[in-house]
Amino acid sequence: MDLSRPVDYIARTTDQYSALGFEPYQWAHRPDPSAWAPLDKPLSESTVLLVGSGGAYREGQVAFHWKDDTGIRYIPTDQPASDVRVTHFAYDLEPARSDPNIVFPVDRLNEMVAAGTIGGLAPEALACMGGIYSVRRAEEELAPAIVDAVQQMPTDIDLVVLVPV
């Protein structure tokens, strides 16, 4: 892989799904991009929420099922990534199981809090299973569940770091 050039994630994901013997991935295309929303305060004063789609879950929680699992898991951010487990059908799990920060960078974000780069980390992060084949289920089940979870958080969230897989 040539690291000096951008990765064409759409082509790469399409190839990965084909290699696994799945039906071609159906991409959801939204022609109207979200409006740009600048931060109201400096990053060093902002509270960040981690949301990852790499299938992370905490030891003791039920692992994600195969594809189209639209559930979410709450993961405390004061616990190290070594307490995080991962399961997913669309990527090589070995590196992420060795270091969950690859797909769920809770340790890196806590380091940024300690360094004063970000003001704070939400007490819980959200995790889900990416690669949901059903666009309808992603839109009608997963996305509203994430929005509801964010709105119910006891801490005001200034920005969200989305870690896609």
Q: CA-to-CA distance for 140 and 94, rounded, in angstroms?
A: 31
Q: How high is the pLDDT of residue 13? A: 77
In this predicted structure, the answer to whether residue 3 has a pLDDT above a threshold of 70 is no
User: Which element (helix H / strand E) includes 115?
Assistant: none
Strand, helix or coil for residue 140: helix
Task: Identify the band that residue 30 occupies on the pLDDT scale cut at 50, 70 and 90.
Answer: low
Contacts of residue 107, defined as CB under 8 A and 6 or more positions apart, other chains included, come to: 80, 81, 101
Max mean pLDDT among 57-61, 76-80, 87-91 falls in: 76-80
In this predicted structure, the answer to whether residue 119 has a pLDDT above a threshold of 80 is yes
In this predicted structure, the answer to whether residue 1 has a pLDDT above a threshold of 60 is no
Residue of 24 and 85 predicted with greater confidence: 85
Q: pLDDT tens digit string along 38-77?
A: 888 999 999 999 999 999 999 889 998 867 889 999 999 9
Q: Which residue has the tokens 């070594």?
A: 82
Q: Which residue has the tokens 């992603």?
A: 138
Q: How high is the pLDDT of residue 17? A: 77
In this predicted structure, the answer to whether residue 112 has a pLDDT above a threshold of 70 is yes
Report residue 40 as tokens.
């109201």
In the predicted model, what is the mean pLDDT of the chain?
Answer: 87
Average pLDDT over residues 81-103: 89
Q: How high is the pLDDT of residue 29? A: 65
In this predicted structure, the answer to whether residue 23 has a pLDDT above a threshold of 90 is no
Number of H helices, E strands in the chain: 5, 7
